[in-house]
Amino acid sequence: MSARERRLGALCATPITLFLALGFLVPLLVVAAFSTMPLKVFDLAHVPDFTAFAEVVRQGYWKSLAWSLGMAALSTLILFVICWPLAWAMVHVFTRFTLVITVLVVVTLIVSENIRLFGWSLTLMKGGMIEGMLRSWTGYGFDGLLYNVPVIVFGLVYVYFPFMLFPLVQGIAMVPGDARHAAADLGATPRQVLTEIELPLASPGIMVGGLLSFVLAAGAVAESKLLGGQAVIVISDDVETAFTYGQNWPLGAALAIVLIVVVGSLALYALARLDLDTVMGRGER
Amino acid sequence: MRAPRWMRALLGGYGVLLMLLLYLPLLAVFFASISKARYLSFPIRRYSGDWYGEALGSETVHVLLRTSLLVAAIVTVLSVVLGYFGALAFARYRWRYRTLFQKLVLLPIFFPQTVLGLALLMWFNAIGVLPSWQTAVIAHLVWIAPIATLIIAIRAYGFDPMLEDAARDLGCSDWQVQREVTLPLLAPGVVSAALFAFLLSWGNFPLSLFTTGADSTLPEWLYAKMVSGYSPLVPTVGMLSVAASMLLIALAAAVLALRPLFAHGSVARSGSNEPPRS
């Protein structure tokens, strides 16, 4: 750590640090300040009275929080199970196909999630691609597959697939081949190699993937609106309603703070345990 | 320890299946966009490209396109500049608050975007700024500049700091080192960061939702139409937006593929880890 590097490092970090301080940290403080204001005010020039938080408890908003967190946890779990074999194969089995999959997945990432979810609603609705085709071929139709809780979880799994897949690939690539081979040579069953070697050594990738998909899914709103048709109300939906129809900024801010505290403490906990240089740079220099 | 044949076939099939599922909804949107009927129902009886003509001729769509393009272009330039220097501080230099800085940069990415947009709306309101497409640029940047930083940082992790030291020993000033060694070596990262920044801004909806004020971007308009009932223009405009993104990616891929034809002289510019010739 030479004096030159110290100086250049601090200098290079300045622009984005200043920007994030003003565009990220300060706004969060504003939300926190707003959440303490009396209900239905639009500026911060009032005496804080915390009625918004009392309202959050009284109106039973914990239900939407529970739905959001529950569905996020479930979709994260499903994503892990779906992505692990593919990520493993991308590292150890596929050669050219790994690149093809990477490109294909990245391309969907840049298509607005609205459009992709809209595509699913066209696919799953009554008279949609699946039901309509089935009915015209077999004569039997069924009610659409939309507007229920499983389809929301499905939407979350679909949208956040890349956020689990790529960190897992990175994590699995960090497992030294020698460790796997040595374990196998010493008589470990494939199952033991998985549970004793690969899962623990790939854990940084698993943690990043799990955190990303959980956090993003917990704050998601489009899936429940476009696919779920408000079968359940999620927390972000409540926040949005409080700001738009409700015209109740302090209530919206208090709801947002609840979400931020849950999600933020998880993110901080995981980020604190993670050595980013190892995850991103693949090892120390 | 090579996987047995049946296992490779099984995993390959699994990969193909997942990729098909990934693209199934886009197929549905595509079919919907070429259906002649005003009210969509599968199987589609009559096809027509009329909706494309209507979408391309619509004044509303033109305005939306202009706004989305403007926002995405400005976000791209600014996030690449912020991200370039951010990445050097993130990955290249060892300095005192580096780990803290890394966490600050990552935090916005791990944040629900709707909440981020609302927080900014309240902040703009508190300081008396009226939301418009300009404030949406700020909102996009809060999320996209850290991503650009990460993408360039991955590249910065991979390069050998000795190259900079060597250039300095040979008498380069700090500025010359940046221009002749660091920037050319990070160039591929910068290009992919720019591409990502543009596309992520182009397709972004949750951040725009609360921060564009009276202006509207393409994804916002699509969402408003989707929740207010079916309109045949939604799949068409959606498909056009996707096509524009794909075109950009294809263009970038073509440039990357053709680059060796134009690259001559500097070795550093081709991205290899060798020092540049003077």
Window 11-40 of B, Cβ < 8 Å to A: 11-12, 14-15, 18-19, 21-29, 31-32, 40
Query: Would you call A239 and B114 a contact, using CB atoms and an 8 Å cutoff?
Result: yes
Q: Enter the pTM of the model.
A: 0.84
Nearest to B112 among A111, A184, A259 (CB): A259
Pick the more confident residue, B200 or B158: B200
**CA B190 vs CA A75, B153, B197: distances in Å:** 33, 10, 10
CATH number, span A61-281 = 1.10.3720.10
- The residue written with tokens 């039973």 in the block is A60
- Taking contacts as CB-CB distances below 8 angstroms, the residues of chain B near A11 are 85, 89
CB–CB contact B26 A123 (8 Å) = no
Q: What percent of chain B is modeled with pLDDT above 70?
A: 88
The per-residue pLDDT for range B151-161, each reduced to its tens digit, is 888 888 877 77
- The parts of chain A modelled with pLDDT lower than 70 are 1, 279, 281-285
* Chain B environment of A127 (Cβ under 8 Å): 40-42
Q: Does B229 touch chain A (CB under 8 A)?
A: no
Q: What is the pLDDT of residue A52?
A: 80
Q: How confident is the model at residue B76 (pLDDT cuts 50, 70, 90)?
A: very high
pLDDT value, residue A196:
84
Q: Determine the residue among A104, A105, A122, A277 to mutate to test chain B binding: the one whose Cβ has the most chain B Cβ atoms within 10 Å.
A: A122
The distance of A150 to chain B (nearest Cα, Å) reads 17
Find out whether A259 and A239 touch, Cβ atoms under 8 Å: yes
More confident residue, B260 or A282: B260
Q: Calculate the average pLDDT of chain B.
A: 82
Mean of pLDDT values over B221-246? 82
Note the residue count of chain A.
285
Q: Which one of A93, A128, A256 has the shortest CB-CB distance to B11?
A: A93
The DSSP-derived string for chain A is --HHHHHHHHHHHHHHHHHHIIIIIHHHHHHHHHHTSPTT-SSS-S----HHHHHHHHTTTHHHHHHHHHHHHHHHHHHHHHHHHHHHHHHHT-SHHHHHHHHHHHHHHTS-HHHHHHHHHHHHSTTSHHHHHHHHHHS-----S-SSHHHHHHHHHHHTHHHHHHHHHHHHHTS-HHHHHHHHHTT--HHHIIIIIIHHHTHHHHHHHHHHHHHHHHT--HHHHHTSTTSS--HHHHHHHHHTTS--HHHHHHHHHHHHHHHHHHHHHHHHH--HHHHHHTS--
pLDDT score of A72: 93
* pLDDT number for residue B141: 94
SS3 assignment, position B205:
coil
The pLDDT of residue B264 is above 60: no
How far apart are the CA of B267 and the nearest CA of chain A, in angstroms? 23
Best of B22, B110, B225 to substitute, by most chain A Cβ atoms within 10 angstroms, is: B110
CA distance B127 to chain A (A): 10
Q: Which residue of B has its CA nearest to A85?
A: B11
Q: Return the structure tokens found at A119.
A: 């595509």
For residue A281, the model assigns a pLDDT of 62
pLDDT surpassing 60 at residue B129: yes
pLDDT at B166 over 70: yes
Query: Chain B residue with minimal CA distance to A119?
Result: B25
- Quote the pLDDT of residue B265: 45
- Look at residue A1 in the predicted model and tell me its pLDDT: 52
Looking at the complex, does the CB of residue B166 fall below 8 Å from at least one CB of chain A? Answer: no
Residue B261 — pLDDT band, cuts 50, 70, 90? low
The candidate with the shortest Cα–Cα distance to B275, out of B68, A26, B267, is: B267
* pLDDT computed for residue A74 by the predictor: 95
Chain B residues lying within 8 Å of A145, measured CB to CB: none
The token duo for A25 is 């940290």
Taking CB atoms and an 8 Å cutoff, what residues of chain B touch A30?
A: 119, 122-123, 126
Residue B124 scores a pLDDT above 70: yes
pLDDT tens digit string along A160-207?
A: 999 899 889 888 888 888 888 888 888 888 888 888 888 888 888 888
pLDDT reading at B275 higher than 80: no
With pLDDT > 90 as the criterion, what percentage of chain B qualifies?
16
- Give the pLDDT confidence of B171-191 residue by residue, as tens digits: 888 788 888 888 888 888 888
Q: Is B119–A218 a contact, with Cβ atoms under 8 angstroms apart?
A: no
Say what the pLDDT of residue A237 is: 85
Cβ-based neighbour number of residue B109 at 10 Å: 19
Min Cα distance B261 → chain A (Å) is 23
A202 to chain B, minimum CA–CA distance in Å?
19
Would you state the structure tokens that stand for residue A132, as one six-digit string? 């309509």
Looking at the complex, does the CB of residue B145 fall below 8 Å from at least one CB of chain A?
yes
Domains of chain B: 59-270 (1.10.3720.10)
Residues of A in contact with B126 (CB under 8 A): 30, 43-44
Q: Which residues contact A188 (CB under 8 A, 6 or more apart)?
A: A196, A197
What pLDDT is recorded for position B262? 61
Q: Which residues of B touch A31 (CB under 8 A)?
A: 115, 118-119, 122
CB within 8 Å: A44 and B126: yes
Q: A256: closest CA among A270, A266, A241? A: A241
From the list A9, A116, A120, the residue facing B98 with the nearest CB is A9
Q: Are the beta carbons of A85 and B14 separated by less than 8 Å?
A: yes
Q: Is B4 on the interface with A (CB under 8 A)?
A: no
pLDDT(B142) > 90: yes
The pLDDT of residue B278 is above 70: no
For residue B146, what pLDDT is reported? Answer: 94
| Position B74 confidence tier, pLDDT thresholds 50, 70, 90 | very high
CA distance A126 to chain B (A): 8
Q: Is B243's Cβ below 8 Å from some Cβ in A?
A: no
Please report which confidence band the pLDDT of residue B273 belongs to, taking 50, 70 and 90 as the band edges: very low
Residue B35 has pLDDT above 80, yes or no: no
Say whether B205 and A110 touch across the interface (CB within 8 A).
no
- Rounded to the nearest angstrom, the minimum Cα separation between B263 and chain A is 24
The verdict on a CB contact (< 8 Å) between B14 and A89 is yes
In the prediction, which pLDDT does B276 show? 46
Residue B13 has pLDDT above 50, yes or no: yes
Q: For B192, name the nearest residue in chain A, comparing CA atoms only.
A: A106
The helix/strand/coil state of B35 is: strand
Q: How far is CA A6 from the centre of its chain?
A: 34
- Please choose, from the candidates A197, A204, A209, A198, the residue with its C-alpha nearest in 3D space to the C-alpha of residue A282: A204
Q: Which residue has the tokens 């005192």?
A: B96
Cα–Cα separations (whole angstroms), residue A280 to A24, A267, B67, B161 = 24, 17, 35, 17
How long a stretch of residues is chain B? 278
Give per-residue pLDDT as tens, A112-131: 888 888 889 888 887 777 77
Name the residue among B12, B98, B105 with its Cβ closest to that of A97.
Answer: B12
Q: What is the mean pLDDT of residues B253-264?
A: 70
Per-domain boundaries in chain A = 61-281
Residues of A in contact with B19 (CB under 8 A): 101, 104-105
